[in-house]
Amino acid sequence: MANALRLGIIGLGRGFMLTLPALKADSRVALAGAFDLRREARERFADEFGAPAFDTLDALLYSPVIDAVYIATPHELHAEQAIAALRAGKHVLVEKPMATTLADCARIERAAADAGKVLVVGPSHGFDAPVQAAAQLVASGRFGAVRMVTALNFTDFMFRPRRPEELDSARGGGVVYSQAAHQIDVVRRLVGQPVSSVRAVAANWDSSRPSEGAYTALVTFEAGAAASLTYSGYAHYDSDELVGWIAELGYDKDPDRYGEARKRLATLSSQDEIEAKLKRTYGVPAVAADTPAPHHEHFGFIIVSCDRADLKLSPKGLSIYGDTERDFQPIEPPALPRKEVIDEFVGGCLGIRRPIHDGRWGLDTMACCVALLESSRRNTDVAPNQLLDTLSEKP
Ligand SMILES: NC(=O)c1ccc[n+]([C@@H]2O[C@H](COP(=O)([O-])OP(=O)(O)OC[C@H]3O[C@@H](n4cnc5c(N)ncnc54)[C@H](O)[C@@H]3O)[C@@H](O)[C@H]2O)c1
């Protein structure tokens, strides 16, 4: 397409690979350049897309052939790279978590406002089609007011191959930054009200994976709704059982492959683990192109309770449990995974519609993540807005 958004990629890793099918298929987007520290990834990108693989970040940011960037580098690099890109006049799609501190998230948001450029934080599971459909149904008021959300997810997150910083809480490691960022996005989208407080316990109970591996939280909203969020990444129970044995990325899962993540990790040295993580990234020959997932992505078991119905989300649609009747509203299977985030970002860049998951949205989600950790540390309720107020009081 002649007027396609010319997108530069910063970070050709696992996150990029999950978004790549939607990027490749969208004629409104042209993959116009990339930067990564890994030479093999840069070379493969240049070969596959016939586009420049830049030697430095600045070369990409100041290239006239790039209109916008997608930042999919490790969490702790997001702030500096996003701010540099916005100052260079590029629109920015930045992976979740937006950054590793609230102050950095606020700096990114301010840089977007100063530059007058579009900023979207995602993909997250808040973009998933069943979440959007349920959010619209809740907002329509058809079943009365939203009262409660129950969200739980039990995965093997902590036992997948990890980079060392992914297990270092001080650098944004553990499940709160990586996984609560999804779950909070989902419940905020469903409830559609500002969060008033968070009460939580975040746990770090396995010294072999020394970062927060689980949490449970009560999130209250300004108009009175409440959500309970539970997450465990300790690779014991697998809550995909509760969504018909469909995995997070929308593929069917074999329940008999119990314990695989732990068994595999037990055979790896620290160096092998880093290499195993690398094998899941772009530019590494071992990674074959995935076949498209038959179902929508999801983030575990989620029920929204309204005055007159409970809505259960699934990767295939919404089950509606009303006063006297039960109904199932199927949702068309996905044309492509993560298409929704590209729609929102491109729509914002082309001025078609304002993104929902903009800088302010990302900042508020991060304030909830930080509130979750703070609540656990201080054993008290924490208001995310107070954390943001404290931030704005600092010089
Ligand atoms: N939305 C999702 O579902 C999802 C899934 C996976 C990852 N992610 C996010 O993507 C980000 C990256 O995680 P990942 O799992 O893809 O990690 P990864 O290690 O697979 O990929 C990171 C990539 O960044 C490159 N890189 C490192 N330092 C760099 C630098 N200074 N400049 C340019 N490139 C650099 C690495 O070489 C690698 O290719 C994280 O923030 C993570 O939360 C999101």
Q: Is pLDDT at 289 greater than 60 in this prediction?
A: no
Topology of 126-330 in CATH? Dihydrodipicolinate Reductase; domain 2 (3.30.360)
CATH code 3.40.50.720 region(s) in the chain: 5-124+338-357
Going by CATH, does the domain composed of 5-124+338-357 fall within 3.30.2350.10? no
How many Å separate Cα 366 from the centre of its chain? 11
Residue 75 Cα, ligand 1 centroid: separation in angstroms?
A: 7
Residue 299: burial class (beta carbons within 10 Å; 0-12, 13-18, 19+): buried
- Asked whether 153 lines ligand 1 (CB < 6 A), one says no
185 in contact with ligand 1, CB cutoff 6 A? no
Give start-end residues of each CATH 3.30.360.10 domain in the chain: 126-330
How far out from the chain centre does Cα 263 lie? 27
Bridge-based pairing state of the strands 146-154 and 226-232: parallel
Tens digits of residue pLDDT in 247-273? 999 999 999 999 999 999 999 988 899
Distance (Å) from CA 146 to ligand 1 centroid: 36
Average pLDDT over residues 19-36: 95
Helix (H) or strand (E) holding 370: helix 359-378
Distance CA 272, CA 335 (A): 36
246 alpha carbon to ligand 1 midpoint, in Å?
A: 25
The rounded distance, in Å, linking the Cα atoms of 11 and 41 is: 9
CA gap 98, 9 in Å, rounded: 16
pLDDT higher than threshold 60 for residue 286:
no
The token pair at 320 is 């509606």
pLDDT higher than 80, residue 285: no
Examine the pLDDT at 288 and tell me if it is beyond 70.
no
The 10s digit of each residue's pLDDT in 212-232 is: 999 999 999 999 999 999 999
Contact predicate 8/33, CB 8 Å: yes
